[in-house]
Amino acid sequence: MQKTMFGVITGNRGFFPDILAKQGRKDILEVLKGNGFGAIALSMQDTKYGSVETYADAKKCAELFAKNGDKIDGIIVTLPNFGDEKGVAESVKRAGLDVPILIHAEPDAPGQMTIANRRDSFCGKMSVCNNLRQAGIPYTLTKTHTMPVASAEFKQDLDDFASVCRIVKGLRNARFGAIGARTGAFNTVRYSEKILELSGIAVETIDLSEILGRVGRLTDNDRNVKRKLSEIQQYTSTKSIPVESLLKMAKFGYVIDQWVKDNELDGTAIQCWTSLEEFFGIVPCTLMSMMSESLMPSACEVDVTGLLGMYILQLASGTPSALLDWNNNYADEPDKCVLFHCSNLPKSFFKSAKMDYQEIIAGSVGKDNTYGAMVGRIAPGNATFCRTTTDDAAGVISAYVGEGEFTNDSLDTFGGYGVMKIPNLQNLLQFICRMGFEHHVAMNMSQKADAIAEAIGNYLGWELYRHK
């Protein structure tokens, strides 16, 4: 993952101790470096202690940020003392970067509130936020109003803010590939390309016949096919899979890889059910699993807005995402359910997994035409779920996000599956059904719901439900 780069504004106020601004700038830069983040900030020679107080300071800061605009993913405002709210607001406005902004205030200590060391950052933070609000500039707050920049709490806020920045930046120029037509029986995955485009998300389409036509031109001995076959065999156990099926997968996978590369795509949604099985003789699940595992998310049934949820989760965590069905109740436990797919889950989701045939489709097209599924149980652990959809009637993107955990509860089934516990699950299910959301949901083995809600609700302006 590319290092996240922050523009840093250290606030200062003349009638508060300057030494606090000097130390505050030093502290924030050390914390950022220690946590693997980059920083662009005024030097000690540019302004008094590299802080922003006056209009002249703000112009220098804005010029520095604008010059490095292609590098800066977000801005951090730290207030070691009250700070100058106008200086902060002018720096942000004049830089014109349109990136997320985190507002941090350093706490006072009860034994250090004399004129020599009193901060008043508690109060100054409100003034900074007030000025940004007046200017129509969105911003992010730390979990508590003040906190030490060197604390574990700020480290967590910093990690979440980096996720916010990655999501906002990643979605503004995202490019997805839709391979094949929507399966006739799946009205649930219909979406609006135009509404996505308004948020900077482009969709490239290609007919499945074009992909299969390119596959037909490849020979079994083609070196690219052999290389892709080797990648498949290294990725998962293929002991029970016919060689003919593996060669078909290798050809199909290579063609998709090339199309993705040629179009500079960030993810794909692929037609499967049941055209690919009937007329080509494989399921693409393992190939999609491989793409998702390598941070090139791939959704089935041409579910482009499901893919969008996967990509948001991936941007937030830097780890692979999966697309699953809200599939079954779990016994009579209201806060547990079964999540399932056939499956194309990335292998990092599983306790253990192998390639096999897809049992559901096999009943209609025959076992020999359905090799390629990744089967196994999802490993226990914390997870974040996310679903996005285009509400065409309202002309907006809507989403929900929340957290739960995959459990070790016993379950005897097939495909890729897991039991998930979600507090107040019944309320969530009521919301999904009343609002007409799809039966697919994106999952990621992380805890990033707050960061996702902040990014898509505060900065992107999408309609959002944060489940708690």
Element (H, E) at 356: strand 350-357
Q: What angle do CA 179, 180, 184 make, to 5 degrees?
A: 140
> What letter does residue 108 receive in the DSSP assignment?
P
Task: Return the structure tokens found at 27.
Answer: 């502290």
State mean pLDDT over 320-345. Answer: 97
Give pLDDT, residue 313.
Answer: 98
Q: Are 111 and 32 a contacting pair, CB within 8 Å?
A: no
Q: How far is CA 17 from CA 114, 307, 431, in A?
A: 10, 51, 52
Query: Does residue 107 sit in helix, strand or coil?
Result: coil
In one letter, which amino acid is 67? K
Q: Could you check whether the bond before residue 219 is cis, i.e. omega within 30 degrees of 0?
A: no
| Rounded CA separation 206/214 (Å) | 12
* Position with higher pLDDT, 118 vs 318: 318
Rounded to the nearest integer, the mean pLDDT of the chain is 96
Owner of token pair 């955990």? 405
State how far the Cα of 224 lies from the Cα of 230, in Å rounded to an integer: 10
Name the residue ranges covered by the structural domains of the chain.
5-171, 175-466
May I ask the CATH architecture of the domain 5-171? 3-Layer(aba) Sandwich (3.40)
pLDDT at res. 184:
78
Among 68-72, 113-117, 245-249, 437-441, whose mean pLDDT is lowest?
113-117
Predicted confidence band of residue 2 (pLDDT cuts 50, 70, 90):
confident
Tokens of residue 250, six digits: 């290798």
- Nearest-angstrom CA–CA distance, 97 and 99: 6
Beta strand 321-329 pairing with 440-444: antiparallel
- pLDDT (tens digit, 9 = 90+) per residue, 244-278? 999 999 999 999 999 999 999 999 999 988 899 99
Inter-axis angle of helices 285-293 and 223-235, nearest 10: 80
User: Can you give the pLDDT at residue 18?
Assistant: 85
> How do 381-391 and 396-406 pair as beta strands?
antiparallel
Topology of domain 175-466 in CATH is L-fucose Isomerase; Chain A, domain 2 (3.40.275)
Average pLDDT over residues 390-418: 97
186 — pLDDT class (breaks 50, 70, 90): confident
